[in-house]
Structure 1
Amino acid sequence: MTGRQVSIFGGAHIDRRARIFGTTVPGSSNPGSWFEEAGGGGFNAARNLARLGLDVRMISPRGGDAAGETVALAAIEAGVIDCPFIFLDRKTPSYTAILENDGNLVIALADMELYRLFSPRRLQQRAMREIISASNLIVTDANLPEETLAALVSRAADESKPVAAIGISPAKVGRLVKSLSGLTFLFMNEAEARALTGRDSADAVEWPALLQDVGLSGGVITRGGLPAIAFHNGKIVTVAPPQLDALSDVTGAGDSLAAGFLAAFVAGEPLDLCLRSGVAAAGITVRSPLAVSEKMSRAALDEAIRLVPPAEILS
């Protein structure tokens, strides 16, 4: 397919990350540092796609607070067309994580109740119908309620629009179960793939068949530093990420992989080149302390793709 109009429905909120300086002492005050930025799987993908030159709209609930203004400013800075549902008397959703000195998670709190107010009825509004109709690609994430995701996928099918989804977490990806047959691609890690299939694959090449068994026709499974695998229309490819000279933060890597992949997809590239583009985009992100690298651009991605090994065609 070809086309530049992408509409993204899903999470656009505040991510807060605290890192403990020394050894973690439970039940006590621990010296550390605090970092805050705009985040959300859909919003991270939206900002990356906009920086890659696509026309991107972001549709998400938001509160009438300072955090909401932070998200709005991040959209402007990235070139995203911001289309929020603003609830003036509510808080913008947030995700707060406390990390060990080595980056492992101690505990996290997800305050995402506002997303429950994004009901299927919202999609019936004229503005939403026009946005979907004008889009070449619909992207969503699993932050939204199950019934809203199903309604969005159904509306997109009525308009013959491809739909890609981001799994977000093992706990949330289940919200997409009733919509799997309507997805063109689902981006997930192995933990989310296990949650969908109820199976624990010892061999990565088994994932496409297991996911097809539950109704998914196309998807991408990321595996940390191991080769990512993509399948679509009977074709399966894997791409190994290049070795990195520096690793800053893996936050947002999966979202940027989805963006790099989809930027190639809307340009009409074959599956193997789409996956190489996604792996290259993730490589740019993990070199940055931010969830969306300020260095992401079409030129930077083209240069990064040259460092990604050729895809291995499995079928």
Structure 2
Amino acid sequence: MAKKILVLGGAHVDRRGRIFGETAPGASNPGAWFEEPGGGGFNAARNLARLGFDVRMISPRGGDPAGEMVAEAASHAGVDDTPFVFLDRKTPSYTAILERDGNLVIALADMELYQLFSPRRLAIRAVRDAFEAADLVLCDANLPVETLAAIAIKAATGGKPVAAIAISPAKVMRLKPCLAGIDHLFLNEAEAAALTGHRPEDPREWVSGLRALGLRNGVITRGKRELIAFSRDTIVSLQPPIVDNVADVTGAGDSLASGVLAALLAGHDLAEAVRHGTAAAAITVQSPFATAENLSPELLNSMLALVPKAEILS
């Protein structure tokens, strides 16, 4: 029987506009518009469902076409989607304008609806039942700080491991008060710098800083450079493979988290789990979407052949 994963976090619409030529500030720029469902939690939920897990997603949503788009994407990926629907509200959205080379010009995050996911909603019978049935709880930092703390406490009370996705340098600070209650945190180097308050020359120094904050296990991604992962007594590094046909890096971190968690739930150690996560990320960046529709256990296993062994640093 497939293991059950409960995901609590962002499920919204990502809109990206790319400028065709040189960016002209304060003027109309020819370009193209693209939108798709996104959100750290939702991206991870779809990846995990495609990797064979029984995934339930709980997230606030508006009663609008954007909410319907998210629901359709969940159904397509095989996610059990059970949102809190606010019929008179808009589904959250993230709107970005990108330069021709993909660099961000400006973005607007309309995420106020997530503030309505208050701790008291965790007491709803359906949510309590979902916690009880889960083998793993995954949340993201789109949720309010007090809700994230309540999720960590509820998971610990029920003996459930809880993982978290950092989302951004600003939002990861919402996780800081409850880091001791998080079993696995997935973050990039900007988010690690925000949490620890420094950006060291040697990325291994982030590990001691995060451990001092109470975090037991974490994975710090660094783009094309080697990632750093740690548990209570181990630090490993892994150089991601070069991917020639990169289509879009959106969602790569979420897919890496999915691959790592899938491997850990299958009984692999940290060094092997980060290989699975890196393979999942490599598959995703070859897709124009935030999640790769062709992701499967078989494809991930074939991609593993391109991923080197992790180096044990301590």
Question: In structure 2, what is the equivalent of residue 232 of structure 1?
Answer: 231
Question: In structure 2, what is the equivalent of residue 127 of structure 1?
Answer: 126
Question: In structure 1, what is the equivalent of residue 158 of structure 2?
Answer: 159
User: The residue matched to 1:234 in structure 2 has which SS?
Assistant: coil
Question: In structure 2, what is the equivalent of residue 15 of structure 1?
Answer: 14
Which whole-Å deviations, capped at 9, do the CAs of 1:267-308 have from their partners, x for residues lacking one? Answer: 111001110000010000111110001111111100111110
Q: By how many angstroms is 1:214 displaced? A: 1.4
Q: By how many angstroms is 1:138 displaced? A: 0.3
Q: By how many angstroms is 1:207 displaced? A: 1.7
User: The residue matched to 1:106 in structure 2 has which SS?
Assistant: strand
User: The residue matched to 1:256 in structure 2 has which SS?
Assistant: helix
Q: Does 1:264 align with 2:263?
A: yes
Q: Does 1:189 align with 2:150?
A: no
Structure 2 CA distance for aligned equivalents of residues 14 and 241 of structure 1: 29
- Indicate if the aligned counterparts of 1:153 and 1:182 stay in contact, CA closer than 8 A: yes
Q: Does 1:111 align with 2:104?
A: no
Q: Does 1:25 align with 2:24?
A: yes
Instruction: Give the partner amino acid of 2:73.
Output: A
Q: By how many angstroms is 1:215 displaced? A: 1.4
Instruction: Give the partner amino acid of 2:158.
Output: E
Q: Does 1:247 align with 2:258?
A: no
- Indicate if the aligned counterparts of 1:3 and 1:266 stay in contact, CA closer than 8 A: no
Q: By how many angstroms is 1:11 displaced? A: 0.0
Structure 1 CA distance for aligned equivalents of residues 208 and 172 of structure 2: 18
Instruction: Give the partner amino acid of 2:311.
Output: E
- Greater displacement, 102-111 / 232-241: 232-241
User: The residue matched to 1:291 in structure 2 has which SS?
Assistant: coil
Structure 2 CA distance for aligned equivalents of residues 183 and 197 of structure 1: 16
Structure 1 CA distance for aligned equivalents of residues 2 and 141 of structure 2: 24
Which whole-Å deviations, capped at 9, do the CAs of 1:173-192 have from their partners, x for residues lacking one? Answer: 00001110011110000000
Structure 1 CA distance for aligned equivalents of residues 224 and 244 of structure 2: 13
Q: By how many angstroms is 1:201 displaced? A: 1.3
Question: In structure 2, what is the equivalent of residue 208 of structure 1?
Answer: 207
Q: By how many angstroms is 1:233 displaced? A: 2.0
Structure 1 CA distance for aligned equivalents of residues 155 and 2 of structure 2: 16
- Indicate if the aligned counterparts of 2:218 and 2:229 stay in contact, CA closer than 8 A: yes
Structure 1 CA distance for aligned equivalents of residues 2 and 135 of structure 2: 5
- Indicate if the aligned counterparts of 2:2 and 2:54 stay in contact, CA closer than 8 A: no
Q: By how many angstroms is 1:127 displaced? A: 1.0
User: The residue matched to 2:287 in structure 1 has which SS?
Assistant: coil
Question: In structure 1, what is the equivalent of residue 66 of structure 2?
Answer: 67
Q: By how many angstroms is 1:140 displaced? A: 0.2
Structure 1 CA distance for aligned equivalents of residues 133 and 200 of structure 2: 39
Question: In structure 2, what is the equivalent of residue 168 of structure 1?
Answer: 167
Which whole-Å deviations, capped at 9, do the CAs of 1:97-152 have from their partners, x for residues lacking one? Answer: 00000000000000000000000000011111110011000000000000000001
Structure 1 CA distance for aligned equivalents of residues 183 and 302 of structure 2: 27
- Indicate if the aligned counterparts of 1:3 and 1:267 stay in contact, CA closer than 8 A: no
Question: In structure 2, what is the equivalent of residue 313 of structure 1?
Answer: 312
- 4+ residue segments displaced more than 2 Å: none
Instruction: Give the partner amino acid of 1:134.
Output: A
- Unmatched segments (≥5 aa) in structure 2: none
Question: In structure 2, what is the equivalent of residue 198 of structure 1?
Answer: 197
- Indicate if the aligned counterparts of 1:3 and 1:136 stay in contact, CA closer than 8 A: no
Question: In structure 2, what is the equivalent of residue 142 of structure 1?
Answer: 141
Structure 2 CA distance for aligned equivalents of residues 234 and 178 of structure 1: 23
Q: By how many angstroms is 1:27 displaced? A: 0.7
Structure 1 CA distance for aligned equivalents of residues 139 and 211 of structure 2: 20
User: The residue matched to 1:294 in structure 2 has which SS?
Assistant: coil
Q: Does 1:57 align with 2:44?
A: no
Question: In structure 1, what is the equivalent of residue 4 of structure 2?
Answer: 5
Q: By how many angstroms is 1:202 displaced? A: 0.9
**TM-score when normalising by structure 1:** 0.99
Question: In structure 1, what is the equivalent of residue 99 of structure 2?
Answer: 100
Which whole-Å deviations, capped at 9, do the CAs of 1:186-216 have from their partners, x for residues lacking one? Answer: 0000000010000111111212111101111
CA RMSD between the two structures: 0.9
Q: By how many angstroms is 1:3 displaced? A: 6.5
Instruction: Give the partner amino acid of 1:35.
Output: F
- Unmatched segments (≥5 aa) in structure 1: none
Structure 2 CA distance for aligned equivalents of residues 215 and 149 of structure 1: 15
Structure 1 CA distance for aligned equivalents of residues 224 and 306 of structure 2: 15
